[in-house]
Amino acid sequence: MRDLFGCGRAMVMATAAVFAIACGGGGGGEAGGGMEEEAAGEEMASPVDMATAGGINAMVMFEGMAPEMDAIDMASEPNCAARYTDTPMAEEVVVGDGGGLANVFVYVREGLDAGMSFPTPGGAVVMDQVGCRYVPRVVGVQAGQDLTFRNSDGLPHNINASPSENRGFNISQPVNMDTNRNFPLAEVMVPVRCDVHGWMSAYVGVLDHPFHGVTAMDGSADLGMLPPGDYVVEAWHERYGTQTASVTVTTGETAMVSFSFSEAMAANAVVPMGEPIDPHGHGAHALGPETH
Amino acid sequence: MSWMLPESFSTFGPDVDFLYYAILVVTGIVFVITEALLVYFVIRYRRRDGQKATYIHGSTKAEIIWTTVPFIAVLGLAFISIPSWNMMKNPDSVPADALDYIINAKQFEWEITYAGTDGVTGTADDISTINIMHVPVNQAVNITLRSEDVLHSFFLPEMRVKQDAVPGMDITVWFEATAAGAYPIGCAELCGNLHTTMGGTLNVYEAAEFEAWVASQSADADDADDQEDQ
Amino acid sequence: MDAHAHAHEMPWIRRYIFSTDHKIIAIQFLLMSLFFLVVGGLLAAMIRWQLGFPSEPMPGGMLLPDEMMAPTPAGAIMLPEFYNSLVTMHGTIMIFFAIMPLLVGVFGNLLIPLQIGADDMAFPRLNMASFWMAFPAGLLMLASFAVEGGAAGAGWTSYAPLSASGEYTGVYLGQQLWLISLTILGFASLAGAVNYITTIINMRAPGMTWFRMPLATWALFITAILILLAIPILAGALIMLLFDQTIGTGFFLPASDGEPLLWQHLFWFFGHPEVYILILPAMGITSDVLANGARKPVFGYHAMVLAIVSIAFLSWIVWGHHMFQSGMNPMLGTTFMITTMVIAVPSAIKVFNWLGTIYKGNIHLHTPMLHALGFVSMFIIGGLSGVFMASTPVDVYIHDTYFIVAHIHYVLFGGSLFAIFAGVTFWYPKMFGRLMNEKWGKIHFWLTLILYNLVFWPMHSIGIQGHMRRIYDPTQYEFLQPLQPINQFITVCVFALVAVQAIYALNFIISIWKGKKAGNNPWHANSLEWTVPSPPPHGNFELVPIVYRGPYEYSAPDVEEDYWLQDTPPPSETAAPALEPQPVAD
Amino acid sequence: MAGNGEEPRYFLIWFILFVLTMAEVGYAFLALPQWLLATGLILMALWKALLVAIYYMHLKWEPKRLWILAASPLPLAVILVIAVLTEF
Amino acid sequence: MSQPAASTADRHPMPGMMVYNVKLGMWIFLLSEVMFFTALIGSYIILRFAHPDHFAEPGAVLNVPLTAFNTFVLICSSVSMVKAYAAITQGDQKGLKFWLLVTILLGTFFVGVQVYEYIILAQEGFVPMAELYGVAHEIEGAALYGATFYTMTGFHGTHVTIGILCMWFVLYRAWQGKYSANNYGGVEIMGLYWHFVDLVWIILFTIVYLI
């Protein structure tokens, strides 16, 4: 097991004096705490009582004509370009046939009981690189959960993640291979890009609970089963910013929450990156649908 | 394993190649003579028991000779190098009719912008490409080389062009290709993890072809890029 | 001698670990730098694997952590970031922790007091401190492989801004450890340099005038001056870069209008003298060994000294030739081209004088002599290939290609390392009291010479075809693909070359116990170190030696033997002068 | 220096240094062209530095060769700074 | 090292600088210090030349009167150091101890003033970090000014601090009566180091504060 936050290891390898300077400079000192929580979390059962839980389903629609995306100029990477019969288009805004807006990250932002903490899922979330694109483009993971970056192109990619709360990384994948990383701290969102192929970008939402989802082509996302109560749900889109809505979960019911975005929002959208999320408690955020 | 340079396709080629071969000949002669003498002396004056080596401490005449001759030789090489160096690197040497380009280097791409038909960069008809540079043959091009992040080095082996891109600096690079074809672009300065992928292609067109390319880019800027390039 | 007896009563740890005896410190430096030489060689082998067989599973790669060698179903593939770390650390370790301590730490410590007739260094405790700074610095450098993000990966020159911020490479801690380690090593080098200069100026034996000093000591003296004045510049630059990395200053970061070129200027203002730090002592050693092997005085001793001094002076005004393509002012480039061309002259003088030295000699081809001849022949190649780079238009093409790699290795491996083999073999008796095995020494020499040339000669050729240095996968470039067979050939030869060094290592280790006892003067040499037992006792000389002549009076007609020790009174002096026993300083 | 008789006039040097420091501060705020200010200030600083080196560091009473030694890095410093300055 | 018999010594002169080892060693060490400060001060000159807009007018940010006074303090400490040396060459133990103590006090005062200056400047927003430069307050100049200022003066201050620590050691030895009119090497090299640090400050004060 290789820890991402290697200050502890540095202490063993280097002298104490060096350690002090180096960890201070690296800026990842306090992140080490995340590891212990993860280790503790693995023995923990989910605190959600399924007998009383209810679900949340989100639906994100796009109003109006979907904007036309630019073509991606893959001429510099013929091996990728050869995979496409049509011209590959940018995927900043992907609207389904039914008007659903895909690649929206929807998550519970507020309302979880204080003290509620969730086990880290054992399975990894996979972000593949196919035809010089990230598939999927937007993913949500739980803090500490493995995120597998997969290279299926067989040509060099690098994965340059620049989070704000977590420690960034910049790893290369010269051939077909998998690389696992995880983010120990919650933040929405973490931008990921490939420096070899300037058009390749993706986003990772990191939360310390499992109640999140990414909309599919129909605009729907399932946020999972939660304890009954009032929640604030936020939808995040890379171009149009965020919207929030409040929703009440009752036992055995699936609450619906819907959002709608339009091209007009792009003009003055604030797209949060690297925002730390504390899902416990209420009040920090105004309730009701709201456009940033 | 060859000491011959690959064929050059720019106006710098003859100068650089001449200097290279001149130095190759001079150093080659010195190399052969010195190594041969070394081997000859080792064999000729090998150990003979009961015999003493010749007791000599040196010769001022010899010292003077082998100080002045190399001195003149290397200064000669330096002075014949100066004009070519000035032609290649001095911004004043760029021909007035050169086409303007901007190359913006970043990890790990060359973003190449051609000034377009109006000949001025920073206007709407600029044509940007990634890693693929399009230039006309027998026409000087004037590149403003920049970098966004770290050092890169713009390397056109067949054009005998190499220049580091330094963030915060605008560096002038120019060359004039003398034959149409496709030539490699390389990055010659370690620029990060995937430095190795920072290659590209220089497409040198005949004048008419180049105009056609410019026209196709301007006419249909949205989606024509890659069909054209493929 | 009381002090002498006292030395043997000291506890083991003071005699062999925290010793202030220059000979013990020399041995400590020797063991340390040979260890780093092995490490550096293994790093080189790994680099070559990737270049010869890019993205193919490396044998044994599974033993390394996933951050270095990514596991795939086929086997472990080297990651580009690890490749960059390898390139960086191979250069750094070889230059700063192998060649430099071998030449300066080992031979400086061993030879200077012995050759000038001193009992020890001027500041023995400072000398001890020098080693005990250098060694931890090396360990720190190695430790950086194990930290998060891996070891520094911006090349041994650590060009800013790639090295100035971790966001460009993902290497934070590794780069900082690199900087800290080199700063500590800088202190160690300074301590050594102060010691050497003081010792040579002040502690020469009576009669040991400047122009009676052996060329090895001369070279080490000039080298120490270069270290003294160059290392602080590096230290200043390293500290500024460390501040950029850690506290967020912007000396070299364009984001805050810092100047990346300033780093290059500071680095190479240190770096070019450093190049000569790495070759001057080798030249001195070669001169000593060549004269001994040829049984003939060094040809043009004064010219040799002058050449060393002028190289040292010129080395301060040529640094810009590393930066011809860096965006430097072209006018400055012209100036540096001329000075660079001129610095070839003293090197040429030295080569011709070496040829003059063996001319009409009576050449004994013992192992050190073979290595010294190897040095001369390889240095000729390395020196001549330097002329190509000095010519700025040619440099445009060959800068940062494998031609440069070939050049640096012809100078540093073919040059310095052969001289190191020569020197270690030659002065081995003065360290361990025994001789190394001649037969195995010669086998090692010939195998190394041949394999070495098979490795580095083709690099000229692929460099001329445009093969860039420090690229992880040459097959990424279509125009380099035809060169891949040459790359593979080089790789195979490198493995053989590394393996052959085991002969030397075994010869070295076994000879410590099994070698032939050497006696005072096994090579029938002249300088003062050969007048004392092997190894010399604590305090070196029973009596202060009196020097009557230069160190290269081989085959003098006045004496019967073909050597004439520096402290043998001339025949006219019938009775030895009265001498007082020399008190050994504590 | 124990042997060279009378003690140098250390307090006189101290007084000169004091006056020069005052003069520097005064001069720095005169309304003069930048180059004149810089040159004057550097000359005064060098004067002070020389006084310290010659009298307080006793170079005046040292052998010539130590003078040469002490001055040896100065040309290198000048070369470095001037060469790099031509870049900008 | 003892000399051989006189007649031999005449024929085989003992070479050397005619300066004893420790003093020569200190001088040589100071040469490397010259180069170290060359790197720092040279970088400052070059960066300032390249980016004049980063650097404020003299007195606009830095407190010149305070530092001029501090310069005077350091000059005083130099004269007290040289008096200590003069005292011991005459065998005056009391004078040695007195003047050493004065030097230590003056040196400590100098460092204290510098620390005080740093604190005030940092509160005004004059810091070495590029991103934080002048964030809290609007002050003149820009990032390179803070970085170069703190690096140069900080390393000088470090040298002064090291000098003070060494001086305590010299004072301790003086108290033990280790020095005499025939044996004052420790005091002399301490003095050389101290005057050198003073000399560097004279240059720094002019270049950083006044130009």
Which tens digits make up the pLDDT trace of C422-453? 999 999 999 999 999 999 999 999 999 999 99
Q: Per-residue pLDDT averaged across D55-73, rounded?
A: 86
Share of chain C above pLDDT 70, in %: 96
With a cut of 90, say whether residue B158 has pLDDT above it: yes
Contact E17 C195 (CB under 8 A): no
User: Do D76 and C229 make contact, defined as CB atoms within 8 angstroms?
Assistant: yes
User: B43: how many CB neighbours lie within 10 A of its CB?
Assistant: 9
Domain boundaries of chain C, sorted by first residue: 2-531
pLDDT at A111: 86
| Residue B191 scores a pLDDT above 80 | yes
Where do the H-state alpha helices sit in C203-259?
215-246
Q: What is the pLDDT of residue A113?
A: 83
**Three-class DSSP category at C296:** coil
Q: How far apart are CA D18 and CA D34, in angstroms?
A: 24
Facing E15 at nearest CB: one of C204, C228, C253 = C204
D32 lies in a domain? yes
Structural domain harbouring D33 = 10-63
Query: Considering chain C, what percentage of its residues have pLDDT values greater than 90?
Result: 80
Q: Indicate if ipTM > 0.85.
A: yes
Q: Which residues of B174-193 are buried (b: 16+ CB within 10 A; e: fewer)?
A: bbbbbebeebbbbbbbbbbb
Region D52-81 average pLDDT: 88
In a domain, D48, yes or no: yes
Taking a contact as any Cβ pair under 8 Å apart, which residues of chain B between 83 and 122 contact chain C? 84-86, 88-90, 107
Q: Among B17-21, B141-145, D34-38, where is mean pLDDT lowest? A: D34-38
Tell me which chain E residues have a C-beta less than 8 angstroms from the C-beta of D44.
Answer: 206
Report chain E residues whose CB lies below 8 A from the CB of C208: 15
Q: Is the pLDDT of residue C6 over 80?
A: no
Segments of chain E scoring below 70 in pLDDT: 1-17
pLDDT score, position A38:
38
Per-residue model confidence (pLDDT) at position A281: 64
pLDDT in tens, A127-185: 999 999 999 999 999 999 999 999 998 889 999 998 988 988 888 898 899 999 999 99
The pTM score is 0.90
Given a cut of 90, whether residue C174 has pLDDT beyond it is yes
Does the pLDDT of residue D69 top 60, yes or no?
Answer: yes
Tokens at E208, concatenated: 């950083």
The candidate with the shortest Cα–Cα distance to C331, out of E153, D86, A202, is D86
Q: What's the pLDDT tens digit per position in B78-125?
A: 999 999 999 999 989 999 999 999 999 998 899 999 988 888 888 888
Domains and CATH numbers, chain A: 7-41 (no CATH), 54-291 (2.60.40.420)
Which residues 494-553 of chain C have a CB within 8 Å of chain E? Answer: 544, 546-548
Residue A275 has pLDDT above 90, yes or no: no
| Residue-level pLDDT at D32 | 83
Q: Which strands sit side by side in the sheet containing A169-173, from one edge to the other?
A: A138-142, A201-207, A187-193, A157-161, A169-173
Whether pLDDT at C4 is above 80: no
Give residue E5's pLDDT.
36
pLDDT at B219: 65
Q: Which residue of C has its CA nearest to B6?
A: C465
What tens digit of pLDDT does each residue of C97-136 get?
A: 999 999 999 999 999 999 999 999 999 999 999 999 999 9
pLDDT of residue E17: 65
List of chain A residues whose C-beta atoms are within 8 Å of the C-beta of residue C176: 18, 21-22, 25-26
pLDDT tens digits, one per residue of A230-273: 999 999 999 999 999 999 999 888 999 999 999 888 888 888 88
Nearest alpha-carbon partner for C23 in C114, C103, C102: C114
Name A230's bridge partners. Answer: A248
- Given this model, what pLDDT does residue A287 score? 42
Adjacency order of strands within the sheet including B171-176:
B127-130, B109-114, B99-106, B140-147, B171-176
Whether C262 has its CB under 8 Å from any CB of chain D: the answer is yes
Q: Is E22 on the interface with D (CB under 8 A)?
A: no
Of B70 and C574, more confident: B70
Chain E contact present for C582, CB below 8 A: yes
Asked if C55 reaches chain A (Cβ–Cβ under 8 Å), the answer is yes
Please give the domain boundaries of chain B with CATH numbers for all domains: 13-89 (1.10.287.90), 96-229 (2.60.40.420)
Q: Is the pLDDT of residue C344 over 70?
A: yes
Question: Are A170 and A193 spatial neighbours (Cβ–Cβ below 8 Å)?
Answer: no
Give me the pLDDT at residue C92, please: 96
A112-120 mean pLDDT: 83
CA nearest to D73 within chain C: C229
Q: Are C320 and C328 in contact (CB under 8 A)?
A: yes
The pair of structure tokens assigned to C252 is 């070299």
Per-domain boundaries in chain E: 17-210
Establish, for the pair of chains D and E, how many residue pairs have beta carbons separated by less than 8 Å.
121
pLDDT of residue A98: 86
Report CA torsion sign: E78, E79, E80, E84: positive
Nearest neighbour of B160 by CB, restricted to C363, C396, C469: C396
Q: How confident is the model at residue A291 (pLDDT cuts 50, 70, 90)?
A: very low
Mean pLDDT score, B218-226: 51
Q: CATH: 2.40.50.140, 3.40.30.10, 3.30.56.10, 1.20.210.10. Which one for C2-531?
A: 1.20.210.10
Band of pLDDT at residue D36, cut at 50, 70 and 90: confident
> What is the residue-averaged pLDDT of chain C?
91
- pLDDT tens across C542-578, in order? 888 999 999 999 999 888 888 999 998 887 654 444 4
Domain count across chain D: 1
Does the domain at E17-210 match CATH 2.40.50.100? Answer given as no
What pLDDT, on a 0 to 100 scale, did the predictor assign at position E60?
Answer: 86
Averaged pLDDT score across all residues of chain A: 80
> Which tokens sit at A173?
């994948």
pLDDT for residue C586 is more than 70: no
How distant is the Cα of C578 from the closest Cα of chain E, in angstroms?
Answer: 6
